[in-house]
Amino acid sequence: MHITQLNRECLLHLFSFLDKNSRKNLAKTCHKLLEVFEDPLLWSLLNFHSPVELKKDNFLLGPALKYLSICWYSERVKVCNIEDWMKNSFQRDFCNRHENTVRDFLLQVCNRCPNLLSLTLSGCGHVTDDSILLLLKSCPKLRTLKLENCVRITDGTLQAVTLHGGALHTLHVDFCRNITQAGLQRVREQCPSVMLSAERSANMIPDSQPEKKLVLERASRKLVQL
């Protein structure tokens, strides 16, 4: 039996075992397999492991998407977690490309995936409070939001959760260095049913401009002298 003789349900099941590239390559072989590739039921879960993957055409975003994960840890994107004022021009250009890629992708998710249930973002140094706010408004069924080492996430995201995260059951903001204890306490008070995790977040050194750092250093020296 040739693979194209299988019914639609069997083909969808077979495709579900393939990664995104393999699905795309198989879909290029004939129209019937292309139709299977374009079936929204095949795309209820998506995982990405580098910014480059977000720009490929080997996946579909649509209302069937329920679970989305964007996690990257490669050496090349560590520069994205450095404070902006410390970056040189080459690093800023590199990070700007990532920022545009991530922002545009999350905007597509907001526009096309209203039934999203779970979102995990890990090591994504360019995810902003504005993107999370828009996502919470656009995906009212979101139950799980996990943010790990997302350095541009601040208490603004926590406030957005209290205002628009009515369906949230789980919230992780681990290793997000610009989160404060006050913001976390606000979530605990206003959203007591949310399972909140914030490992190390409020205990890390937050970002600040060079002049602010200098003032803090001078104040510390004066205290030592006293």
| Residue spans of beta strands (DSSP E) within 118-216 | 118-122, 144-148, 170-174, 195-197
Which residues of the chain are in CATH 1.20.1280 domains? 1-42
All CATH 3.80.10 domain ranges of the chain, comma separated, are 44-224
Residue 146 backbone dihedrals phi, psi, to 5 degrees: -120, 115
pLDDT band at 126 (very low <50, low <70, confident <90, very high): confident
pTM, two decimal places:
0.82
- The fold of 44-224 is 3.80.10
* pLDDT higher than threshold 60 for residue 70: yes
Q: Print burial letters for 46-55: b (CB count within 10 Å at least 16), e (below 16).
A: bebeebebbe
At residue 208, does pLDDT exceed 80? no
| pLDDT of amino acid 11 | 95
What's the first-to-final CA gap in the chain, in angstroms?
A: 86
Give residue 222's pLDDT band: very low, low, confident or very high (50, 70, 90).
very low
Q: Could you read off the pLDDT of 155-199 as tens digits, one per residue?
A: 999 999 999 999 999 999 999 988 999 999 999 999 999 999 998
CATH numeric code, 1-42: 1.20.1280
- The answer to whether the CB of 7 falls within 8 A of the CB of 14 is no
Lowest-pLDDT range, 44-53, 120-129, 179-188, 217-226?
217-226
Distance CA 112, CA 135 (A): 11
